[in-house]
Homo-oligomer: A and B are copies of this chain.
């Protein structure tokens, strides 16, 4: 068995990589880029829950997160959904940033690391 386990691996990226007790997720975007900020954020967090589950862990073991919005006016709506999702007492180290994203309609992207 390899010491690196990859999940949903394409030519470009793996959606999750496990190594040495740490899970690295790819930056996640919403399934529906036309949806509003809160809906995109919830879709992202649902995808993170699923990927963490496939790696045998969950959001209570988050270590690190970076969150991007394409416009800081979206920051409050994203945070509202994020805050409601985080496990009580288990919030990761985090930075909230601003960036253009891969698709022009994406408004939010979130990338996390978690302990196995």
Contacts and interface: CB of A to CB of B under 8 A. Distances in A.
Interface of A: 3-4, 6, 9-17, 19-22, 24-27, 61, 63-66, 68, 72, 75, 79, 82-83, 86, 88-102, 104, 109, 111, 113, 115
Contacts of A25: 93
14 contacts: A9-B90, A12-B86, A16-B93, A17-B64, A19-B21, A24-B92, A25-B93, A26-B93, A66-B95, A72-B104, A95-B109, A95-B111, A96-B101, A97-B99
Given A63-B19, A68-B97, A98-B100, A91 B27 contact: no
Given A12-B79, A19-B63, A26 B95 contact: yes
